[in-house]
Amino acid sequence: MIVAIFGDTHGHLDEMYKRVAQWEARIEGPKIELVIQVGDFGIYLRENWGDFLKYYNGDAVATHPTVFCRGNHETQQWLMGKEGQEVATNILFLGDGKVYNINGLKIGVCGGNYSWKSYAIRRWTRERRYDTNLYTARPRKWYDHIMPYMVKELMDKEFDVFLTHEAPNHTGIIGRPQFRQQNDKGDYLPLGCPGFNKIIRDVRPKYQFHGHHHTFNKVRIDATTVYCLNKVDEHASSSQCMLVIDL
């Protein structure tokens, strides 16, 4: 299956599908059968907050079947009720800690970004996170973050592709200054979620795709080829924000 993987779109959905059309126009032979997006899709139901509202209202339609995980810039509570469902025609939201079979391709998913402080809160469970009575009692940012239960739910599963928004640990990404985190001692921590490295080591997916850091990077971790995709906008290089691969 020919798949196009895109970095953070931040609502630039028209630009993403335009690049798919441009790639297909240049290449003779098989067409793109699936679009995978790594989060920060731009799920906002507001005017002038990106293109998603047009797709949600039916004023625009995704040109290709599209799946995505959540980033840390989405309407998180709204997405919680949409796991495994289409949020617009031809656009499917893949929820955390689950494996989805998309035309025979098994995709394990964990969205959100990594905060070592939130990750250390062990009392978080799927049930507590989805308890709507607790929304107002918690910082909104907590809903953007990766929690240990999401990683644990993937540890005993098998999948071909590991789709995340955040990077695994130790990929060599320097990252933007605002993404650098310090522990209580003031030491800078490596970018990425260490739980993802455990999944890569134990599950051994063929590929891992992520974004979040607005750069392009490729590295090998054990048996897994790991790609970081750059953000999508009209100025981005297609060679960095878009990857076309036969899965």
Q: Is the pLDDT of residue 216 over 60?
A: yes
List all residues 6 or more positions away from 118 whose beta carbon is below 8 Å from its beta carbon.
Answer: 124, 141, 142, 145, 146, 147
pTM over 0.85: yes
The number of distinct structural domains making up the chain is: 1
Average pLDDT for 165-193: 74
Q: What are the tens digits of pLDDT across the range 120-137?
A: 776 666 666 665 555 454
b (16+ CB within 10 A) / e for 100-113: bebeebebbbbbbb
Burial of 177 (0-12, 13-18, 19+ CB in 10 A): exposed
Alpha-carbon torsion 48, 240, 219, 83, what sign?
Answer: positive
Residue of 100 and 45 predicted with greater confidence? 100
- Please name the residue that has the structure tokens 């009392």: 123
Cα separation, 8 vs 37, in Å, equals: 7
Q: CATH no. for residue 170? A: 3.60.21.10
Q: What domain range includes position 138? A: 2-246
